[in-house]
Each structure stands twice: as structure tokens, then as C-alpha cells.
Chains A and B, each alone.
Chain A
Amino acid sequence: MKAQKSTLKLILFTFGMFGFGFALVPLYDVFCDITGLNGKVTGPTITSYDQELSTREVKITFITSNNKQMPWSFKSSSPQMKVETGQDYLMDFTFTNTTNKPMIAQAVPSVSPGRGAKYFHKTECFCFEQQFLEAGESITIPVKFIIDPELPEDIPSLALGYTLFDVTEEFANLQAIN
């Protein structure tokens, strides 16, 4: 019957759109990677620059914050620094587990303004892995970064923000295996 045919097509379309909703998740990630939308940053890409490129001074601000009731202390050794584009820099971040039980945390980075994100290259960063600290333990880890000399002229400063998440429950199993 004609009616059954159209019903079947419409049902298939419905399931297709349900799948499309989920397809939006990887599509969104790809889109953000290309455009640097949302200050999303990718892994280490560039490690050094040709010294002959013209450089300029950019102010970098470091922001650390804790998600929800994350009790750890989490700080950068200095709130901001002035850097030359195209050169390597280091900034130390200190994590302290202030609780009396072992915990696992992960810092999620974000660069603002968002369109500056793709010019902020982190060559070494703790944001790619989880931190495991015993009760009361403290650790200092550096972030190595280079600012791309092609950073648009109208961006005089960049902010690198880290939000620290408690992922103890999510990664408890992993830790046990290790």
C-alpha cells in the first residue's frame, strides 16, 4: 500500500535524525578543531619556530580554577608573563591534594579569546593526562608553550585557563590496573 510505504520512509527518516543527533558530537569536535572555536586546544603540534620570523610581545594571563567542590589547591607560579612570539617559555603549576585521601584530577585547558586558541601551542602540558596524588601530596609541573608569530595583530594578550576536575571515580579502575 502507498500509505505503508510513506509510513516506512518517515520512520526511517526519524531513526536517521536520531542518529544525526549523535553524529553532531564528532562533527562538532572536528568543527572546533578547524576553527579553534571554544578555545579548544589540541595536542602538541609545533615545537620550534624559524628565528627569522618577526616577533612581537604578547601578554599571557594564567587562570586556574576548580570545578564544583574540587578541594585541591591549584596555582600557577605567577599570574601573568610577557612573552615574545615564536619562543619557548615555561610556567610552573602546583597541585596540592589538601584532603586526607588519594585522589585523581585532570586539568582541562581553554584559551581565550577563542580565535587565539590555534596560535597557542603547548608543547608540553599536564592537561593531556591525569594527576594522581596521595593525601597531602604536592607536585609542581611545568607547561611549555610557544605563541605562534602569526597571531593576529588585534590580539594583544591571551589567557590560558585551566579548570581542575575531580576524576577519581572515573579513573579509579585505571589506577588499580596500573
Chain B
Amino acid sequence: MSAVIDSHHDDHHHGPAKGFSRWLYTTNHKDIGSMYLWFSLVMLFIGGAMAMVIRAELFEPGSQIVSPEFYNQMVTNHGLIMVFGVIMPAFVGFANWMIPMQIGAPDMALPRLNNLSFWILPVAFGILLSTFFMEGGAPNFGWTFYAPLSTEYAPPTVTFFIFSVHIMGASSIMGSINIITTILNMRAPGMTLMKMPLFVWSWFITAYLLIAVMPVLAGAVTMMLMDIHAGTSFFKAGGGGDPVLFQHIFWFFGHPEVYIMILPAFGIVSHIIETFSRKPIFGYSSMVYAIASIALLSFVVWAHHMFTVGMPIAGELFFMYSTMLIAIPTGVKVFNWLSTMFKGSLTFETPMLFAIAFVALFTIGGLSGIMLAIAPADFQYHDTYFVVAHFHYVLVPGALFSLLAAAYYWIPKWTGKMYDETLGKVHFWMSFISVNLTFFPMHFVGLAGMPRRIPDYAMQFADWNMMVSVGAFLFGISQLLFLFIVLKCIYNGKAATTEVWEGAKDKGFEWTVDSPAPYHTFSSPPSMESLKSSS
């Protein structure tokens, strides 16, 4: 620890190193945060390109562009990349950039670990993507990789997939340990836990979820590895194992994982809504308790993903009711956001537009979640496009919109320059319209019985699918506009003020430092007095 503090003293006298080695060896939380964000943006375009292939194939019924085998690879890798390569690293990127600045710390607690946890990520995804060029093709068993599809029937490249998941997991776990240690030990004097900004709170809880479930996922893929190569029978019925066990272990990881991808979004949206409503957040402590109860409940609901495997009625009822219970803390959060906006002096800059769209559209995704939680109804909805609509509503206009909102909200602080507000609004409206055009009709075809993960479909679904594909292409193009806006901001933006947003100075330490934020901030901790109203 003392070595870390010393190195900070040295760095003070000169700026960052030049060239590639700056990025390779950096232990600066801002550099690492930026790398995480750029990495996830690149992965967004790779995973997005796969989504475009999927939608092009589904534009019309019949098999036209890709083979069914390749289609399965697209579906699988689209899911894996978007979950593990886009949403999760992007939130870690925001955590790296913002948590030290929001709690008034000079850097993360474990800067070298931080460097390592970023740099193994490109390795993991390099391994995963390299399988496309191998014999047998990339993984094709869906992002949930149910055994025995992912063991006995898997392409030989599954071993690369397993190691890639191990590395991704190690990266997330190291990142989480770092975040918790930072939050526990490096807060500015006077910042008690219940005075922490909500983004910090949401990440504090998310990091605990990550270290609780990522090792379980690592265990699951290790069992797969042993089933494939060591002759064990964890999931092989022939040797006394049970494939259903895989689903239990996977979803024991998988359901908390769903909240890992949305809790930090709750924190981000809370900050944006309070800033642009010019009011402190309504019900701060209930927000904290709501996040904590969602996190705790997420451990006892996993089997609602697998109602159809055959469960005693008591099990179905337990998982149905515990799932529905989650709607209560989630509802508390939605009503708190609405109450924050109520009678506020609202302005609608791009981050606020994305945040409001988040509240509205995430709620739609939440409500279809309640429909899916109803065990008897789920037998009808299971593995249909209704499920696809549900989780895309919580992940795209949910998690992804919150990430875009956060990028617009904090980019002036990072770069010292304002983005183009007009283009930002164009980006928002294009995204908002196309996201609904893409995912809303999926509810209809799903309820009508269109199964998910198929390259072809019955004729009666043709019209809605064409509409979905058009929406998806438009959404894809809209995100290229986002890339343009970011680059334009960096190279050609107008200078931003220290406060950036009107009244933001009272809202958090990050708005009290210069724009762009200096390479080293808070070498001496700030005082809580500097925030006039601590929210």
C-alpha cells in the first residue's frame, strides 16, 4: 500500500507517459476507465454487427443469407459479447472513472490489479472471437450454454469458450474486489455510507453480487470442462449426472447476473434525474434499501428461468412469488424517480432524455417480466420471442440507454469539451424510435408463438419480423452516430465549464474539479462541506 502512495507522489511532477506503453502499464483509474469504455464500445459494434446478421436473416421467412449453423453461432456470440463484453465492462469503466472522483479518493485502492483486470479482457474476447476461424466454428449453443448441448453436442471450440469465460470471470472478480476495497477504505472524511452518491452505492452492491456469483459460473464451466475432457459425469445422465443440474447452477449465477447488469444503471439514472430536475433525489435511503433488497432477492428466484423443466408445485409457487416480490423494490425506485421529477425545474438535455426513456422503457421490460414470472403463463411464453422482447427491453433501453445517458452526462468532465447537443438529441430520438420499433413487435410475435433462436419462421410472423428488422438496422445506424458525436466532442467540442450542468456543483465531488478532470484528482481528500447540499 505504501508503495502505491509513493508512486502517486512521483507521478505528480509529470503527466502521463507517452505512446502505447502509457496504456499498457497505466495504473491510473481514469486511463483504465477510458480503456474499459472504448473496449466496450468496440465490442458493442462487433456484437451489434452480429445482431444485424440475425435481423437480416429474419427479414423474410425462409433461409436466405446464412446457414442455420452460422445463425446459431451469431445468436450465441451476440448474447455473450453483449452481456460480458459490452454492458459489464462499460459499467466497470464508469466505476473506474467515477467512483474515486465521487468519493474523493485519489485512485482505486488496488491500481495494479486494476490494470490486470482490464488487460485480460481483450485476451478473453480475442480467444472467444478466434473460434470463428477454427474448425467446427464458434460456440453455437446459445449464451446460456445448457449442457449437454454445450458438452456432448458442442463443437470442439467449446474448450476455448470455457477458458474465455474463466478469464472474463477473473476480470470481473478482480474489478469487484478493487471496487469494494476502494469504497470501504478510501471515502473522503465525513462521507458515511449513507452519504455516498447512489452510483457508488449501486456499484458497491453490484460488486458483492459479482464476487458471489462469478465464481459459481467459473465452477459451472469447470464442470463442463471436466465432463468434456476428464470423463466426469456432472451433467451426463449416462454416468449418473443430471443435465437439469446445469440449469440450476447456471441460473444461480444467471439471475444475479441480470441485476449486475441493471443496478449500476439505477445509480446513473438517479444522478441524471436529480441534476436535470434541479432537486435532490427523492427518498435517498429508500433507494439504497431498494437496491439492497433487489440484490438479496436475486439469489432466491433463479428457477423462474426453468419453470418448464418439471418442478414440484411448491417449487413453482415459491419461485413465482419470490420473483414477483422483486417488483416491489423496483417499483419504489421508479416512483422515487418520478417523485424527483415532480415539480422539478426540468430541462431536457440529451442525458436527461435517455434517463427518462430509461424509466419508461425499463418499466415496460419490468412489467413483461412480471407476466413471465406467472408460472402457469410461463409455460406458454417460455422460449418464445416474448422472452426475447422482455430481456431486450431491460437490457437495451434499460442498461444500454443508461450507459449512453452516462456517457453524455460525464463526457464534458472527461474531455473538458461539450458534445453537440443537437446531434445528441437526434441520436436520442433515432435510438428511441428504432429501439421500440425493434423490440415492441417481438411481444406480439412471441405471444403468437414464434420460438426464439430459429433462423426461419412461419409465414404469419412475416410482417412484424420485417418491421423488427427495419427497426434494428435503424438502431444500428443510430449508434454509429453516437461514435461520431463522441469523436466530434473530443476533437472539436466547445470548452465545458467546471460545473458543466447548472447546479451540479452541489451534487457531487466530480463537479468540483476542473474540466477536463486533471490526471490526478483529490491527492488530498475534499471536505464534505464543499457540497452545499449532500444528497
Task: Write the residues of chain A forming the contact surface with B, with a CB cutoff of 8 angstroms.
Answer: 1-4, 6-7, 10-11, 13-22, 24-25, 28-29, 32, 35-40, 67-68, 106, 108, 112-115, 163, 165-167, 170
For B237, list chain A residues within 8 Å (CB). 67, 108, 163, 165
B234 within 8 Å of A (CB atoms): yes
- A106 to B238 Cα, complex, angstroms: 7
Residue picked from B181, B218, B220, B315, most chain A C-beta under 10 Å: B181
For A18, list chain B residues within 8 Å (CB). 215-216, 218-219
A6 engages B1 (CB within 8 Å): no
For A13, list chain B residues within 8 Å (CB). 211-212
Which A residue sits closest to B113, measured CB to CB? Answer: A7
Closest CB of chain B to A34's CB: distance in Å? 11
For B242, list chain A residues within 8 Å (CB). 28-29, 32, 38, 40
B109 engages A3 (CB within 8 Å): yes
Closest CB of chain B to A17's CB: distance in Å? 4
Known contacts A25-B223, A35-B315, A170-B231; 18 further A-B pairs (Cβ under 8 A): A7-B177, A7-B181, A10-B180, A10-B181, A17-B214, A17-B216, A20-B215, A21-B217, A25-B245, A28-B242, A35-B312, A38-B310, A67-B237, A108-B237, A114-B311, A165-B236, A165-B239, A170-B239
Closest CB of chain B to A7's CB: distance in Å? 5
For A113, list chain B residues within 8 Å (CB). 310
B1 engages A3 (CB within 8 Å): yes
A2 engages B185 (CB within 8 Å): yes
Partner of A17, one of B215, B238, B312: B215
- A159 to B248 Cα, complex, angstroms: 24
Closest CB of chain B to A37's CB: distance in Å? 6
Partner of B1, one of A1, A11, A165: A1
- A19 to B239 Cα, complex, angstroms: 22
Partner of A68, one of B152, B173, B311: B152
A22 engages B177 (CB within 8 Å): no
B395 within 8 Å of A (CB atoms): no
Which B residue sits closest to A4, measured CB to CB? Answer: B1
- A106 to B471 Cα, complex, angstroms: 51
B310 engages A114 (CB within 8 Å): yes
- A18 to B217 Cα, complex, angstroms: 8
Chain B's interface: helix, strand, loop or mixed, by majority? helix
B110 within 8 Å of A (CB atoms): yes
B219 engages A22 (CB within 8 Å): yes
B181 engages A17 (CB within 8 Å): no
Partner of B180, one of A2, A6, A108: A6
15 A/B residue pairs, CB under 8 Å, sorted by A: A4-B1, A7-B177, A10-B177, A10-B211, A13-B212, A14-B173, A17-B211, A18-B219, A19-B219, A22-B219, A24-B252, A25-B223, A28-B242, A165-B236, A165-B238
Partner of A11, one of B177, B244, B312: B177
B483 within 8 Å of A (CB atoms): no
B184 within 8 Å of A (CB atoms): yes
For A67, list chain B residues within 8 Å (CB). 237-238
A115 engages B312 (CB within 8 Å): yes
Closest CB of chain B to A153's CB: distance in Å? 15
For B220, list chain A residues within 8 Å (CB). 21
For A19, list chain B residues within 8 Å (CB). 219
**Interface size bracket, B side:** 35 or more
For B249, list chain A residues within 8 Å (CB). 21, 24
B35 within 8 Å of A (CB atoms): no
- A104 to B177 Cα, complex, angstroms: 49
A167 engages B239 (CB within 8 Å): yes
For A114, list chain B residues within 8 Å (CB). 310-312
> Top 9 A-B pairs ranked by shortest CB distance?
A21-B219, A165-B238, A18-B215, A17-B215, A21-B216, A10-B177, A1-B1, A3-B185, A3-B109
Partner of B234, one of A15, A16, A25: A25
- A127 to B312 Cα, complex, angstroms: 24
Which B residue sits closest to A115, measured CB to CB? Answer: B312
Which A residue sits closest to B1, measured CB to CB? Answer: A1
Closest CB of chain A to B71's CB: distance in Å? 23
- A10 to B249 Cα, complex, angstroms: 22
Residue picked from B1, B176, B310, most chain A C-beta under 10 Å: B310
Which B residue sits closest to A23, measured CB to CB? Answer: B219
Closest CB of chain A to B93's CB: distance in Å? 21
- A79 to B239 Cα, complex, angstroms: 26
B213 within 8 Å of A (CB atoms): yes
- A37 to B218 Cα, complex, angstroms: 26
- A114 to B312 Cα, complex, angstroms: 8
Which B residue sits closest to A166, measured CB to CB? Answer: B238
For B223, list chain A residues within 8 Å (CB). 22, 25
Which B residue sits closest to A17, measured CB to CB? Answer: B215
- A129 to B117 Cα, complex, angstroms: 48
- A4 to B184 Cα, complex, angstroms: 11
Which A residue sits closest to B239, measured CB to CB? Answer: A170
- A3 to B240 Cα, complex, angstroms: 45
- A112 to B212 Cα, complex, angstroms: 35
For A1, list chain B residues within 8 Å (CB). 1
B181 engages A28 (CB within 8 Å): no
For B252, list chain A residues within 8 Å (CB). 21, 24
Closest CB of chain B to A95's CB: distance in Å? 15
B215 engages A37 (CB within 8 Å): no
Which B residue sits closest to A113, measured CB to CB? Answer: B310
For A10, list chain B residues within 8 Å (CB). 176-177, 180-181, 211
For window 300-321 of B, CB contacts with A under 8 Å fall at: 309-313, 315
For B180, list chain A residues within 8 Å (CB). 6, 10
- A36 to B310 Cα, complex, angstroms: 11
B248 engages A24 (CB within 8 Å): yes
For B310, list chain A residues within 8 Å (CB). 37-39, 112-114
Closest CB of chain B to A172's CB: distance in Å? 11
